[in-house]
């Protein structure tokens, strides 16, 4: 009978997985491939904490979903959703009207555009949110990468300020306030992580990723099964493709979001384990 144990203190020396026999005192090292795509060297303390945080964040979001404490994160997730529409529009040759997106106090938003590929632009909202959430989760597995994704996040918030500078609607106050607040929060965490406590920034970017990715799932479920919101993307999809019923489109988006979340966790663990055993 053979047991495997990880020698955490020897990670920096190379291979970190060892084979221990109950019937002799010989300890033989087991080679860990790099990158470790099979996760054969998972999981140590860091990876276990990472996984626990993801499920802890998901559980907290579930129980606090209708609490005001999550309102700022819902609004930032709506911003990512609308920004995904805008990016898809630009990438397919379209134009975002007045170069702005709008986020409303009542947990809604809109991106007005013309041209581009309507099918791609429509699908980009939920799929884009899940993709960016996955990207945040992956990059949260490394300190330098989490700093990079935090900077990307700040850049996106600066863009949102630019897109709302000419807006005269009530959403301007919310979008500007939201963007400014998250710019300050993320900057403070960057400084605290650099000078006080590590990995504080990784915890923050991981939460951003988990919430943004899971928001697509919660929002679709709410729009399709809790209430019928005929202005949602799934109903618009039905207008473009009559044979694609709203609930079918919603379930498809939910499936894609779940797959992307799972991929985010997998690639993050591969990165963490491969870096640890390098």
pLDDT in tens, 210-236: 998 888 888 887 777 776 666 677 777
Q: Which residue has the higher pLDDT, 166 or 57?
A: 57
Residue 128 pLDDT > 80: yes
pLDDT for res 238:
73
State mean pLDDT over 114-136. 87
Give Cα 116 distance to the centre of its chain.
26
Range among 57-66, 151-160, 229-238 rated most confident = 57-66
- Most confident of the ranges 39-48, 105-114, 200-209, 221-230: 200-209
pLDDT on residue 54: 92
| pLDDT, tens digit (0-9, with 9 covering 90-100), for 186-201 | 899 999 988 887 788 8
Give dist(CA 4, CA 81) in Å, integer.
44
pLDDT value for 171: 53
Residue-wise DSSP of 190-231: HHHHHHT-TTHHHHHHHHHHHHHHHHHHHHHHIIIIIS--TT
The CA distances from residue 222 to 87, 111, 123, 217, 247, in Å, are: 25, 21, 18, 9, 11
What is the DSSP code (8-state) at residue 26?
Answer: -
* pLDDT tens per residue across span 74-84: 878 888 888 88
What's the pLDDT at 14? Answer: 46
Under the banding of pLDDT at 50, 70 and 90, the label for residue 183 is confident
**Helices then strands, each counted (H, E), the chain:** 8, 7
Confidence of residue 13 (pLDDT cuts 50, 70, 90): very low
- Dump pLDDT digits (tens) for 16-38: 444 444 434 444 445 677 777 87
Average pLDDT of the chain, as a whole number: 76
Burial-class residue 215 by CB neighbours within 10 Å (0-12, 13-18, 19+): buried
């Amino acid at each position: 009978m053979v047991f495997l144990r990880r020698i955490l203190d020897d990670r920096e020396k190379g291979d970190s997985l060892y084979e221990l026999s109950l019937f002799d005192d010989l300890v033989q090292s087991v080679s860990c491939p790099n990158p470790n795509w099979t996760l054969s060297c998972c999981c140590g303390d860091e990876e276990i904490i990472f996984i626990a945080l993801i499920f802890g964040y998901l559980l907290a979001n579930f129980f606090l979903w209708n609490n005001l404490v999550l309102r700022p994160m819902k609004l930032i997730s709506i911003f990512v959703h609308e920004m995904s529409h805008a990016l898809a529009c630009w990438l397919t040759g379209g134009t975002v009207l007045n170069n702005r997106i709008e986020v409303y106090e009542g947990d809604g938003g809109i991106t007005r555009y013309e041209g581009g590929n309507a099918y791609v632009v429509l699908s980009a909202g939920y799929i884009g949110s899940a993709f960016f959430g996955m990207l945040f989760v992956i990059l949260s597995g490394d300190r330098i990468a989490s700093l990079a994704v935090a900077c990307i996040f700040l850049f996106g918030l600066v863009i949102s300020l630019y897109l709302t500078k000419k807006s005269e609607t009530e959403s301007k106050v919310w979008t500007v306030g939201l963007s400014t607040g998250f710019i300050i929060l993320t900057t403070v965490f960057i400084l605290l992580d650099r000078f006080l406590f590590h990995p504080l920034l990784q915890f923050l970017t991981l939460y951003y990723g988990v919430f943004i990715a899971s928001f697509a799932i919660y929002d679709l479920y709410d729009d399709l099964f809790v209430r019928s919101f005929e202005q949602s993307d799934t109903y618009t999809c039905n207008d473009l493709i009559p044979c694609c019923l709203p609930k079918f489109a919603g379930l498809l988006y939910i499936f894609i979001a779940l797959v992307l979340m799972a991929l985010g966790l997998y690639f993050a663990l591969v990165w963490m384990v491969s870096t640890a055993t390098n």
